[in-house]
Structure 1
Amino acid sequence: MSLDEAAAAALSQLALAADGAVLGLVLAYAAARSILNYTSSSSALNIIKHAPSLRVSDLRSILSNSDHDSDDRKLVVVRGYVEAKAAVVNDWKSLRSNHALVSPQSGDKAVVLLRTQTCIYNEWRGWFGWTSEIRSVFRRSWKEEESSSLRTIPFVLVDGGIWPYSDYVVVNMNGSRHPVPLVTVYHHLQPITASPYTFLRAFFGDEYPVGLLDEEKILPLGKDITVVGTVGLSNGIPEIKSCKDLPVFMSDMTKEQILVDLSFRIKVLLWSGVVLGSLAIGVLGYAAVRNWNKWKERRQMRQIQRDNTADSSEADTHIVTDEDGNIPEVELCAICLTRRRRSAFIPCGHLVCCQRCARSIEHEVSPKCPLCRQSIRTSVRIYDS
C-alpha cells in the first residue's frame, strides 16, 4: 500500500470513528459555515442593491463640503475608467513623476503591476519516493514555491470621453484584501535544464523543479471597472475606500451583474447548508443511536458479570469442603481432585465435578461436559439425603 493510500485509509477511519460521529461533526461545521456565509452574503446583497449607482461626476452632489471623512462617508457604486492620479492632478510634482507603470514584457501602461514566478515540481517519486512524502509533511509548510512582487501607484476613476478630467474620484486600496480585476499580459513557461544532481534527487524520490512559470498581470489604464465602497471627501477630493463587510470592491462587472453573481452564490450557500445540515443530522443521529445501544449492551454485560460474580461468591460460601474427611477416590472431582462431586451437568446429567469447578466450566465461551464433551446449559447442585 502506498503512502497516499495509507493516509486515505487513516483519514477514512478517523472520519468514521465513533460510528461516524466525527464525520457528522465535520459536516455540521461545514453546514454552519455555509449558513453564516449565506447570512453575510444576503446582507451584502441587500446593501449593494440599495446603494446608489452613480457616475464620477455625480459624486460631489451627494457629498458635503466638509473635509471630515468619517462624518460624511456614504456607500455608493461607481463605474468609471482607470487613470493614473498624476495625470489628472495639475501640480509641478506630477509633471516630474511617471504617470503610469510600464510592463517590462508587454510594454502596456498600468496602475497595478503584479509579477509572479511559480516553480513547478515533478510528480515522479523515484525508487525511494516514500521518503519525499515524509519530508514534505514537515517541509512543505515553509517551502517557497511561488514568489510575487506587487507595484501600485495612486489612481483614480474618471468619466470616459471627457478631457481635461475635472471630476474624478481617488481609489484608496489601503487595507483592502479584495481581489483586483487584473489582466494577464504575459504568460511563459520556461523549462529548467536537468543536471546530475537533479538525476540523483529524482532517483531518491526527492522533488525537483522542472519548469518556471512567469506571469504578469496588470490593471491597465483606460479599463472600465465598477467600484463598490464608501466615498467621502479627503482634502476636498472625493475618495472611495473598500468596505470589509462586502465581498467585492473592484470588479469588471456592472452593478446588475454583481447582484446576479451574488444571488447565485447565495443560492449555492443556502442549498449547501441545507444539504450538509441534513446529512450532519442523519449521521449524528445514527451515531447517537449506535453508541447508545453499545452503551446499553456494555452496561448489561457488566451487570451480568457482577451478578455471576455475586452468585459465584454466594455459592462458594455454601460449598461444603470435604478436604478434612476421607473422600473415596471415585467421588473426587475430575477437575481439581480435592473436593467431592456435587454438581450434575444439564442436559447430559453427568456428576463429575464439584460445585466450584462446575461454575468455572459454565463461564467458559462454549461450556462442555468434561466426560462426554456435550454442550451444557447449566449445572445442578446435588444434595445427599
Structure 2
Amino acid sequence: MPILASPPPPELFSVLGNSKIPQMSSPDRSAVFPLLIDIALSFDGAILGVTLALGAVRAAFKYASTSAALNKIKDAPEVSVSDLRSLIPPSSGDQSETSDDQQRIVVVRGTVKAKTNSNVLTSQETGDKALIIHRSQTYVYSGWKTLFQLTNGHRFLLERSLPKQGADFMRMVPFVIVDDTQPSSSSFVLVNMDGARQPLPLTTVYNRLQPINSSPYAFLQALFFPEYPVGMVDVEKILPPERDLTAVGICSFNNGVPEIKSCQHLPYFLSEMTKDKMIIDLAETTSVIFWGGLIMGCLSAGILGFAAVRAWNRWKLRNHEEREQQQRPDEQRPDQPMVADETEDEDEIPDGALCVICVTRRRVPAFIPCGHVVCCRQCALAVEREVNPKCPVCLQSIRGSMRVYYS
C-alpha cells in the first residue's frame, strides 16, 4: 500500500487548480447533450416518452420497495439488548434456513465494542482504534488540449475508457452491541456483517492528496488523451469503538448467543439515527419517489399521446391522398404513360408558352384547383409526384392537373 511520507509540494496544488474528480467536462457536454436532445425528440418525442415511462415504472418499483421497508421499520419493535431473550426465544432463533420475511426484524440501540479487546484494529496513519477500516484511493485527473485535435464525441469515448478508481478495500474485526444503560453487563448482541450492503456510519480520519510518479505510460496518456492522472486521493474511514449506533436487522440465536444481521430489503443496518429519525427519513424519500414517478408518468402519457395522434393524422392523410389518386380520371393520374405535348417543332414555341421548369416544352396542363398553366406535361407529372405538391406560381396545394385544349 503506498503511504505518503511527506505532504505534496505546493506546486502540485497550483497545477491542480483546474483539476477535478473524473466527470464530464464542458466541451464534452456541449457535444453530447445536443445529440441526446435530438435523439430524445425524434419520432415526435416518442423516445422521450418511452424513457419517461420507463423511469415512471422504475419509480413505481422503488416506491413499492421503500414503502415496504418503511412499514417493516414501523412494525419492528425497538428493544434493548437485555430484552432480546424475552422477545425472541432461543428455540425459535436456531432456524437458520428460514427466509428473511419469516424471521423477526428488531431495532436495537446500543454501544459498539470489539468482541475481544485484543483484536481491535489500529489506523496506520492516525493510530486511532477502530472496528472497521475502509480505505480508498481515487485518481485525480487534469485535462489539456491534446496533440491531435479529436472531436468532442471521440474525446468523450476515450475519456470514459480510462481507469478512474484505484484501490478500495476494507478490514474489520468481530464486534458486538452492548446496552447503553448497562455497559458493564455481560449481555450483548453479536453483529454479523456477512452480506451487508447498506452504508456504514464511518468517520473520515485520513484524507491526503499524493502525486503520481511520471512514467512512459503516463506521458503517452497525457499526449493522446484529453485527461491524464496527476494525483491520487487517499481516504481512510473508520468505525471507532464506544459509538452509539442503532442496528436494524434480523435477530436470531447462534449457539445461544444473540446475533443480528442485515436484511437485504431494508436501507439501514447500522446507523447513528434513531428509529424515529429513520421513519421520518424514509417517509420523505417515499414521498419524493411517489411524486417524481407520478410526474414522469403524466409527462410520458402526454408525450406518447401526442406522438400517437400525430402518427394517426399522418396515416389518415396518406390514405386520403391515395384514395384521391385512385379516384382521379385516367387523364389526371400521374402514373399514366407520358405523351408528346405537341407535334410542332420546339423552335416554333413562343417564349411566353415555354414551361417555367424545363424551358424547352410547351405549357399544356392546368393545375387543379388554382388553374395555372405554367408547366409541360412531364414537369407537371413530376410536381404531382412530390410528397406535398404545390403550384410553382402561387404555391397553393394541388390535387392534380388537367390538359387544356386551345380551339
Same fold (TM > 0.5): yes
Whether 2:233 is the aligned partner of 1:233: answer no
**For this pair of structures, how many residues does the alignment match?**
356
Partners of 2:319 and 2:77 in 1: CA distance: 67
The aligned counterpart of 1:112 is 132
TM-score by length of 2: 0.74
Percent of counterpart pairs with the same letter? 41
Residue from 61, 65, 68 that aligns with 1:40: 65
Whether 2:302 is the aligned partner of 1:282: answer yes
Partners of 2:374 and 2:133 in 1: CA distance: 98
Distance 1:211 1:314, change over 3 A: closer
Post-superposition shift, 1:172? 0.8
Alignment of 1:270-309 (within 5 A): 270-307=290-327
Contact 1:367 1:376 in 2 (8 A): no
Whether 2:115 is the aligned partner of 1:85: answer yes
The aligned counterpart of 2:95 is 68
Comparing 48-57 with 142-151, greater Cα deviation is found at 142-151
Partners of 1:352 and 1:270 in 2: CA distance: 63
Amino acid at match of 1:106: T
Distance 1:248 1:217, change over 3 A: same
CA offsets 1:186-207 (integer angstroms, 9 cap, x no match): 1112234668986665454442
Amino acid at match of 2:104: K
Post-superposition shift, 1:376? 12
Comparing 305-314 with 288-297, greater Cα deviation is found at 305-314
Amino acid at match of 1:103: S
Residue from 30, 33, 36 that aligns with 1:11: 36
CA offsets 1:296-333 (integer angstroms, 9 cap, x no match): 2333344444555955569969x8x999xxx8879x99
RMSD value, Cα: 4.0
Alignment of 1:1-385 (within 5 A): 4-66=29-91, 67-70=94-97, 73-87=103-117, 98-128=118-148, 130=150, 134=154, 137=157, 140-141=160-161, 143-160=163-180, 162=182, 164-192=184-212, 201-202=221-222, 204-307=224-327, 311-312=331-332, 345=366, 360=381, 363=384, 365-366=390-391, 378-380=401-403, 382=405
Contact 2:159 2:225 in 1 (8 A): no
Contact 1:125 1:132 in 2 (8 A): no
Contact 1:132 1:207 in 2 (8 A): no
Partners of 1:257 and 1:351 in 2: CA distance: 82
Distance 1:194 1:382, change over 3 A: same
CA offsets 1:307-366 (integer angstroms, 9 cap, x no match): 55955569969x8x999xxx8879x99999xxxx9967588898997xx66964873753
Post-superposition shift, 1:166? 1.0
TM-score by length of 1: 0.78
**Secondary structure in structure 2 of the residue aligned to 1:233:** strand
Partners of 2:189 and 2:86 in 1: CA distance: 13
Amino acid at match of 1:379: M
Comparing 61-70 with 270-279, greater Cα deviation is found at 61-70
Partners of 2:403 and 2:124 in 1: CA distance: 101
Partners of 1:21 and 1:28 in 2: CA distance: 10
| Structure 2: stretches of 5+ with no match in the other structure | 1-25, 356-361
Post-superposition shift, 1:13? 0.8
Amino acid at match of 1:252: E
Post-superposition shift, 1:243? 1.0
Distance 1:13 1:57, change over 3 A: same
CA offsets 1:230-268 (integer angstroms, 9 cap, x no match): 101100000111111111111110001111111111111
The aligned counterpart of 1:372 is none
CA offsets 1:167-195 (integer angstroms, 9 cap, x no match): 01111111121111111111112234668
Contact 2:90 2:252 in 1 (8 A): no
Partners of 1:349 and 1:60 in 2: CA distance: 99
| Structure of larger gyration radius | 1
Distance 1:230 1:167, change over 3 A: same
Contact 1:183 1:217 in 2 (8 A): yes
Comparing 259-268 with 184-193, greater Cα deviation is found at 184-193
